[in-house]
Each structure stands twice: as C-alpha cells, then as structure tokens.
C-alpha cells in the first residue's frame, strides 16, 4: 500500500537526519529520480519538513541574535516554497499515474489532493518522532512523560486513520470513483511581480 511505503521512507529520513541532528548537514537523496521517482519525492519532501521543523525550534529562541533571526526567517521562507513545490511535484506524479483513468459519470472530487494529504502524513511522522522523544526524556517529570504518552497515542491513531484515508483516496481515483483536480498554490509573496514590496525594490 502506498501509505506503508510513505511512512517507511519518512521514518528513514527522520532517523537519518538525527544521526547528525543539525540543519546545516548536506542532503543526499538515496532514491534515483528516474527509476524511483515517487520514493525520491517522498524522501525529499520529508527532509525539507525535518529541516524546517528544526528551523522553527531555533527561531523561537528568545535570545537569538536579530541578524541571525532575519537570516533564518529567509531560510524558512525558502523552505516553505521548496515544500510547496515538492508537494506539487508529487501531485504531478499522481496526475500522470492516473491520466488514463476515465472517471465515472458520478465521480466526485476530494477536498484535498493526494499530495497535500501526504504533506500532512510527513508532518505527522515528525510529530510522532518528537513526541516519543519527549515521552521518554529522562530529565522530564513523570507528569510530563504521561501527558506526552497520551498525546503520542493520539498521534499514532491519527497516522493509522490518515494512512487509510490516503490509500482509499488513491484506490478510488484508480477505480474512477473520484477524480483529481489540482489547484496550484500560486503563492504571491515570493514573486517579484506579485508582491508590491518586492516589485518596488526590484524596478
């Protein structure tokens, strides 16, 4: 099932990142983009999410140097754009995969595309990893550990439900019961022509 593959790759990414546990480490995708395209995209997607998770931790340091904070904000902006682009690449993969499927006359559209559901699954993998760390943190109180264990149970249940929903969505698209219709994000604030501040500063 697709979600099993995605969850396995997401865990692989998170474990690999935490071997060095630094946002500055080099990125190396072990999956070939030609022969293992979806695996390549899933690995890249979760790596972006994992690095950005730690960017968000760092920038919340109340003692961070303002110059460093601004530079990090620029990195977060770039990461967000990279994340969105990668989600759209994943949707392009699915559009191509299902391009020859003729939807039923009564086929319906889903509220989100498969790739945006995968985006949530990747973030969920990170929540599970870090909540597990907190639930087992030796220097934390028993109360803290118990609260985190309770939250972890919910997150694990959520992963089961979301994984099932993604598998069912892909099966329904393949069967013509649902059909894909992708709306690109068309973010405006990174565009020199669409953001009035950038347009003014780049005549």
Q: Give the C-alpha separation, 147 to 18, whole Å.
A: 24
Which residue bears the tokens 């969920």? 124
Q: Above 90 in pLDDT, residue 196? A: no
| Number of C-beta neighbours around residue 11 at 10 A | 14
Q: What is the pLDDT of residue 202?
A: 67
Tens digits of residue pLDDT in 4-21? 999 999 999 999 999 999
C-beta separation of 164 from 184 below 8 A: no
pLDDT tens-digit series, residues 24-73: 999 999 999 999 999 999 999 999 999 999 999 999 999 999 999 999 99
Under the banding of pLDDT at 50, 70 and 90, the label for residue 151 is very high
pLDDT level of residue 184 (50, 70, 90 thresholds): confident
- Give 190's pLDDT tier (boundaries 50, 70, 90): low
Q: Sketch the domain layout of the chain as residue ranges.
A: 2-192
Predicted confidence (pLDDT) per residue in 79-128, tens digit: 999 999 999 999 999 999 999 999 999 999 999 999 999 999 999 999 99
CA 119 to CA 160: how far, in whole Å? 15
The pLDDT of residue 189 is above 80: no
What distance in Å separates the CA atoms of residue 189 and residue 77, rounded to the nearest whole number?
Answer: 10
In contact, 30 and 43? CB cutoff 8 Å? yes
Instruction: Between 183 and 168, name the one with better pLDDT.
Output: 168
Element (H, E) at 69: helix 66-97
């Amino acid at each position: 099932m697709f979600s099993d593959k995605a969850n396995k790759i997401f865990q692989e990414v998170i474990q690999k990142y935490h071997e060095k546990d630094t946002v500055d480490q080099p990125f190396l995708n072990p999956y070939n983009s030609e022969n293992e395209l979806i695996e390549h995209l899933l690995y890249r997607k979760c790596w972006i999410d994992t690095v950005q998770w730690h960017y968000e931790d760092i920038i919340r340091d109340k003692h961070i140097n303002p110059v460093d904070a601004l530079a990090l904000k620029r990195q977060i902006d770039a990461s967000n754009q990279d994340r969105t682009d990668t989600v759209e690449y994943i949707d392009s993969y699915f559009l191509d995969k299902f391009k020859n499927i003729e939807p039923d006359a009564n086929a319906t559209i889903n509220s989100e595309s498969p790739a945006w559901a995968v985006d949530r699954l990747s973030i969920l993998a990170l929540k599970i990893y870090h909540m597990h760390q907190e639930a087992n943190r030796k220097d934390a109180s028993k109360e803290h550990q118990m609260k985190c264990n309770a939250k972890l149970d919910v997150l694990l249940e959520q992963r089961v439900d979301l994984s099932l929903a993604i598998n069912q969505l892909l099966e329904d698209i393949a069967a013509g019961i649902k059909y894909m219709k992708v709306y690109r994000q068309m973010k405006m604030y990174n565009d020199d022509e669409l953001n009035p501040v950038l347009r003014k500063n780049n005549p």
